[in-house]
Amino acid sequence: MKYFIFIYNFCLLIFCHSCFGSVVSDTTQTAIKKFSANLSTSFLNTSNWKGSSFSSFSTTVNSDFYLATTTETANLVFTIKSDLGFTKFIDSTWSKHADKLYTQFIWKKKKSKIDQSYATSVTAQLLNSYLYKYDAIQKKTSKTLTGSFFNPSNFDAGYGIGISFWKKSIFNLSVASARIKIDPAENASEITPGLRLGSVKHGIILFDYGCSVQLLILKSWKEKFEINSSSKIFMEGFELSHLHLDMSHKINYSIWKWLQLRADIKMVYDPNTSMKMQYRNELLFGVFYEASKKFD
């Protein structure tokens, strides 16, 4: 029964791919492009602050590209986001606090607001990550590789139903979704779900399937207030250990040209890392570069 479901899901993906190929012939289209990026740095120095003294330097770079295209037969939304950040404690090593590449693509028929859709996404780490241990006796710091380029990473594709709203936003339910993922060998365990396909250096390749939910939102009000959100939920079963959630929300308020007040909210649920929800919330004020264009 398990393999029958997989074959069924695979056939649905092939059917959807054949439908997607017909979009290329469309000649009439409207597209909206939007790109934003920011670079932030900070220096922190403490002296006997709550019993400790240290100095640190942090830098973070993130970018966000969004493309919404409307043709005679389909709505297409594509987004790619990246985050990279490091923190260095003076007289110590650099520590990476952010490293993520996230892309998401949804194609939906334009026949009605609710119609068949195809969705795919890629989530990956780009740079090496290490676990540092300090030996107080030998006074040396050792490191162990815990991740590398596209390790860990996830690639999933699914076929289902999409709902268009707010012109540039799409909600998608993929009732048949397949996923290939690479997990670091050090973090792999017997409870990690999926069919093992092989291995790479310092990692294993796994395959699983289930259903997924994707949400892409880009909405502006009076050119001052904007919400840019992307969310993905992948479910292999009804247990929490089979649920994966990744949400990123940016709420921007434009004060003057490139001067903005921004709330950056991230929520992740990954049972391989923790059985509890992970949050990262930032309130930013500063200069952000943005470029947008609409063309017919």
- Kindly state whether residue 216 falls inside one of the protein's structural domains: yes
pLDDT reported for residue 34: 85
pLDDT reported for residue 14: 44
- Kindly state whether residue 82 falls inside one of the protein's structural domains: yes
- Kindly state whether residue 281 falls inside one of the protein's structural domains: no
pLDDT reported for residue 54: 76
pLDDT reported for residue 268: 92
- Kindly state whether residue 184 falls inside one of the protein's structural domains: yes
Residue pLDDT tens, the chain, 296 long: 333 334 434 444 444 444 444 434 444 577 888 888 888 888 888 887 767 777 888 888 889 999 988 888 888 899 999 999 998 887 777 888 889 999 999 999 987 889 999 999 999 999 998 887 877 787 777 888 888 999 999 999 999 999 988 878 899 999 899 999 998 876 655 445 678 888 888 889 999 999 999 999 988 888 789 999 999 999 987 888 889 999 999 998 988 877 888 898 999 998 877 889 999 888 888 777 777 765 55
- Kindly state whether residue 273 falls inside one of the protein's structural domains: no
HEC secondary structure over the chain: CHHHHHHHHHHHHHHHHHHHHHHHHCCCEEEEEEEEEEEEEEEEEEEEECCEEEEEEEEEEEEEEEEEEEECCEEEEEEEEEEEEEEEECCCCEEEEEEEEEEEEEEEECCCCEEEEEEEEEEECCCCEEEEEEECCCCEEEEEEEEECCECEEEEEEEEEEEEECCCEEEEEEEEEEEEEEEECCCCCCCCCCEEEEEECCEEEEEEEEEEEEEEEEEEECCCEEEEEEEEEEECCCCHHHEEEEEEEEEEEEEECCEEEEEEEEEEECCCCCCCCEEEEEEEEEECEEEEEEEC
- Kindly state whether residue 233 falls inside one of the protein's structural domains: no
- Residue range of the domain that includes 180: 2-21+60-228
- Kindly state whether residue 119 falls inside one of the protein's structural domains: yes
- Kindly state whether residue 168 falls inside one of the protein's structural domains: yes
pLDDT reported for residue 173: 95
